[in-house]
Every structure is written in structure tokens, then in C-alpha cells.
Amino acid sequence: MAETESITAPDISHIHRLSNGMTLVAEPMPWLRSAAFTLLVPAGTRSEPEGLQGLCGMTLDLAQRGAGKRNSRQIVEDLDYMGIERSSSCSTFHTSFSVACVAESLNETLSIYADIVLRPHMPKDEVDESRQTALQELLSIEDDPSQKVFTQLKNLRYGAQFGRSPYGSTEGLESVALQNMVDYHVGRYIPDGAILAVAGKFEWGELKGMVEKLFGDWQSTETNPSGSVPIQTGVQHLQHESSQTHIALAYDCVPYQHPDFYQSRGLISVLSDGMSSRLFSEVREKRGLVYTVSASCQTIGDQGSVLTYAGTTGPRAQETLDVTIETIKSLGNGISEGELSRLKARVKSSLVMEQESSTSRSSQIATDWYYLKRVPNRKQVLAEIESLTCDSLLEHFQQYPPTGWGLVTMGPEPVVLAEDLVRVDSSSCDGASEGASNGANQLPATAKPPAAKGTTR
């Protein structure tokens, strides 16, 4: 199929507001055999009462241990029998369910998830199992420095309420009681602000009817609070006897819903997308300092952040951080025509390839609806990208220069962030302290390459 045709392939999103405040957003992809959905429930970690960190995740786990007419084992068996691929997670603002199936199983799968969200049994005799599962997950983060630095950075950057880890804390998990989970479910598993995004092979009229039937009687008087997310700056080092020093750096950018977001996203693309990107070429290709260096953007509420990661063996950590920051600043020297055309080519092929994955598309339209209250189609996104120029990118960088730096390092030796970047006293804490997460709303730069066994370049 020629590329111009693929760009204009039909991609009409259907939108249906239920009277209870939930929104169904759906995009038919009739050429696929699959269907996928993303269900966002406005139950995030920011709504956990202080001292009960991890409540959101434990509630999510317990809700899946029996719902509607099925017990815990029957839920897993019935989903496995249909070969459903699924995951669920907590972020700052949401509990989310991501599901993919062959198209014929969509209705049955939706009805199981409606039970989980609306009619969980919350069985008393499985509370300890939920708690033990959550504690295991918390320990797994402790053992992975590249995740741990980001959980800590989130905590540093967004503070006690908005910077919480979806994995909670040991003390929090140990304090959660059944009643806390029941209350959290009643108060936060609510239709106001809930989004169900479906993509793939389905018939719209049938889907709309099905969703009305499954979710139409979901009622709650609770509403979804809004509010601004505060940003804090600072530096932290976690002492750890690892081979590498793991460096997680953040600075401000405009959020996803900002009219200039594509300018900001374009700059990150120049910085980090592809093998000719500035970070890959300066930090890895020219100097051989790292195996991994990357930047991405994240929006939490109304705050946008650029997050960068680099890992390098101890003695070279300071140089790695310095070169990373110099490279970020080098965006202020201008963007070349070549960089601009490569970023456009990359976005164009990502947009076309997104049509091959119901999972990617359902997740994208859920994100779009949450932040924008609309779903831009491929033509509109392409027009936004085509309108970027070298001058517009440079102007954007000058208008929104990197500020609000936050740095977390983990490894044998601390590194120093130049004084003109951060005027906050460095603090340090030990490696066993509570984690946080970068789980929320990280936008993919491009679709991920398929998983392959062995080691990738």
C-alpha cells in the first residue's frame, strides 16, 4: 500500500458520553483480527490517604481476586481460556487496565472488566495475599537501579502527594486494611472522568450498546478533583555498591495538552530519537561513555517534564552528566534542516505503523481524550508535525529553556550538578528508602521494537 494512502486510511473516532460521566472513545480498525481497550479509572496514587502508600495498587490487586459471578481463579481461567493479553497498573491519577484480544472475545472480556471495576468481591481472606504480592513488587524495584532512580526522582520532583510510587512503601502496605480498600473503591472507582478507549475490529453500534449495558448503571456521587501539580527541584544521591552509576535527570517542558507540545516533543526527538540523535551521538558514539542514554517526556497533570537516563561506570559518571547537560543546552544553538526532516520522517512512519497495532492505538486515544478531550486523527497530527520549522523549534527552546532541574543518582560515588542549574542544598538518603515511579503517562517516542531474545544493540 502506498504511503499516501496509508496516511489517509479511515481513522474516524467515535465518541459517546454516558450519562454517568464516563466516556467511550473508539476507533475502528477493520483490517485487524484483534481488538484492544484501555480503561482508565480515576483512582490514582494521589488520592491515597497519607500513611497508606500502596493502597491504590492493593485495591487494584484485590479487585481482581473475584468479581461479579466469578471468583479469583475463575477470572484468570476465563481470561486465559480466551487468550487475553492484559496488564493493569496505577499511576498518579489513574488505575488503568490494558487489554488485547481476538475480536470475537471483546464483548465477553469487557463484561469481565466491568465486573472487576463495578462489582469486585474484595474478599477478606485474600487481603494478606494482596499485601504479600505488593511487598514482592516493592522489593523488585529495590533490586533494579535503573527503575529505582526514577521512582526516587518522581518523589523528589512532585513531592509527597503527586510523587508517590505506585508500588507504595513498606509501612504503607503493612498499614492497609480491608476497609481502607473498600472505601477507596467506593470513593475512587467512579464514572466521573472514567475513559474506555477501544481500537481494532468491532462494530460501533454493537459496542456502544454493550458499553451502555455494562457501565450504564455505574453510579457515584463522588467527583474527580482537579488541581495543579507542584514541581520541586533538587539533587539526591543514593549510595549503592553497583558497577554503574545510574543517572536520572529531569527538567521542565510544556505538558501534553499545551498548544506548543509538538514543538517540545520535536526537540526531544532531536535530542534522543534514533541513532543520529544528539544524545546517542555525543554520549555514546563519540565518547563511548554509556551503553544506554535516552530522553523522553512525561506529563503528570498540568506539568510536563523531560526525563533523561544514563548509566555509566563510576569514574566516568561526572563526565557523562556534564556531556548530557551540554548536549541538552546545545539545542539553543539551533536545529539543522537534516534533524528536522529526520524527525518528520520518524513521526510519519510511526503514525502509519500505529495502524498495525490495536494496542498502541487504544492507549494513544485514551491519552488523547484524557489530556485534550479530543482525538486528533493522523492527518491532524501530521499537519502539526509538518508545521514545525527549525526556527519554530529554536524559538520554543528559547521561550522555554530548561529549568526546574532535578537529579537523582545511584551508585558508588555522587556526582555534582553545576551550581547555576540548581541552587538547592544537596541532600542524600540511603538506598533503602521509599521508591517512587515514572509510571504515569510516558508518551512513546515511537512504537517499541519487538522483543527479541538475546542482547540488542
Partner 1 sequence: MKFENTTLDNGLQIIAEVNDEAFSQSIGYFVKTGSRDEVPEMGGVSHFLEHMVFKGTDKRSAEDVNRELDELGAQSNAYTCEDQTVYYMSILPDQQTRAVDLLTDLMRPALRTSDFETEKNVILEEIAMYDDAPPYGSMERCMESFYGDHPLSIRVLGTPQTVSDLDSEAMREYHRDRYAPNNLCLVATGAVDFDALVKQAEILTESWEPSRFKRVSTMPKHGSAELQFQHAPAVQQYTFELSQGVSRNDPRRHSYRLLATVLGDDSGSRAFWALVDPGLAESAGMFAHEYDECGILGLYLTCTPEDTQSNWDALVSIVREETSKKITERELTVAKNKICSSLVLSSERPGNRLFTVGNAMTMRGVYETVDQSIANYRRVTLEAVHDAWADYVNQGGARVTIGPELDVLK
Rounded-to-10 torsion of CA 40, 46, 48, 54? 80
Per CB under 8 A, does 285 bind partner 1? yes
Per CB under 8 A, does 284 bind partner 1? yes
Among 50, 125, 241, 337, binds partner 1 (CB under 8 A): 241
CB 218 within 8 A of CB 155: no
Per CB under 8 A, does 336 bind partner 1? no
**Which grid cell is 205?**
453500534
Among 46, 94, 246, 361, binds partner 1 (CB under 8 A): 246
Q: Which one of 39-47, 117-125, 218-226, 305-313 is the stretch in contact with partner 1 (CB under 8 A)?
A: 305-313
Give least dist CB 190 to partner 1, A.
Answer: 28
Give least dist CB 399 to partner 1, A.
Answer: 26
CB 309 within 8 A of CB 343: no
What H or E segment, with its residue span, contains residue 432? Answer: none
Per CB under 8 A, does 278 bind partner 1? no
- Please identify, using beta-carbon distances, which residue of 303 and 357 lies nearer to partner 1: 357
Among 107, 133, 175, 257, binds partner 1 (CB under 8 A): 133
Give the distance between the most distant pair of CA atoms in the chain. Answer: 63
What H or E segment, with its residue span, contains residue 374? Answer: none
What span, in angstroms and rounded, lies between the C-alpha atoms of 297 and 263?
Answer: 12
371-384 in b/e form (b: 16+ CB < 10 A) is beeebbbbeebbeb
Among 308, 312, 362, 409, binds partner 1 (CB under 8 A): 312
Give least dist CB 288 to partner 1, A.
Answer: 4
What H or E segment, with its residue span, contains residue 144? Answer: none
Per CB under 8 A, does 135 bind partner 1? yes
Interaction with partner 1 in 421-440: which residues (CB under 8 A)?
Answer: 431
What are the Cα distances from residue 311, in Å, to 145, 329, 378, 412?
10, 20, 36, 12
Among 12, 139, 418, 424, binds partner 1 (CB under 8 A): 139
What single-letter DSSP state applies at residue 120? B
Give least dist CB 281 to partner 1, A.
Answer: 7
Phi, psi at 375, each rounded to 5°? -120, 100
- Please identify, using beta-carbon distances, which residue of 103 and 254 lies nearer to partner 1: 103
Q: Which one of 117-125, 137-145, 301-309, 382-390 is the stretch in contact with partner 1 (CB under 8 A)?
A: 137-145
Q: What residues form DSSP beta bridges with 89?
A: 96
What H or E segment, with its residue span, contains residue 16? Answer: strand 14-17
Q: Which one of 46-54, 150-158, 187-195, 239-247 is the stretch in contact with partner 1 (CB under 8 A)?
A: 239-247
Single-letter residue type at 142: E
- Please identify, using beta-carbon distances, which residue of 191 and 311 lies nearer to partner 1: 311
- Please identify, using beta-carbon distances, which residue of 297 and 351 lies nearer to partner 1: 351
Residues in the interface with partner 1 (CB under 8 A) total 90
Interface mask toward partner 1 for 41-80; x: CB under 8 A: -------------------------------xx--xx--x
3-state secondary structure 285-320: HHCCCCCCEEEEEEEECCEEEEEEEEEEEHHHHHHH
Give least dist CB 338 to partner 1, A.
Answer: 7
Give least dist CB 179 to partner 1, A.
Answer: 20
- Please identify, using beta-carbon distances, which residue of 51 and 288 lies nearer to partner 1: 288
Starting at the edge strand found earlier in the chain, the sheet holding 234-239 runs 293-300, 303-313, 244-253, 406-411, 234-239, 427-429
Give least dist CB 182 to partner 1, A.
Answer: 20
Among 242, 257, 377, 392, binds partner 1 (CB under 8 A): 242
Strand 195-200 to strand 23-28: parallel, antiparallel, or no bridges (unpaired)? Answer: parallel
Give least dist CB 185 to partner 1, A.
Answer: 20
Please, what is the Cα angle at 255 between 48 and 406, to 5 degrees?
Answer: 70
**Residue that is written with C-alpha cell 508545521 in the block:** 387
Give least dist CB 291 to partner 1, A.
Answer: 4
Q: Give 112's contacts (C-beta < 8 A, 6+ positions apart).
A: 67, 68, 70, 75, 78, 79
**Which grid cell is 142?**
529495590
- Please identify, using beta-carbon distances, which residue of 254 and 343 lies nearer to partner 1: 343
Interaction with partner 1 in 356-415: which residues (CB under 8 A)?
Answer: 356-358
Interaction with partner 1 in 93-132: which residues (CB under 8 A)?
Answer: 100-102, 128-132
Among 355, 363, 367, 438, binds partner 1 (CB under 8 A): 355
Among 28, 54, 145, 439, binds partner 1 (CB under 8 A): 145
Per CB under 8 A, does 322 bind partner 1? no
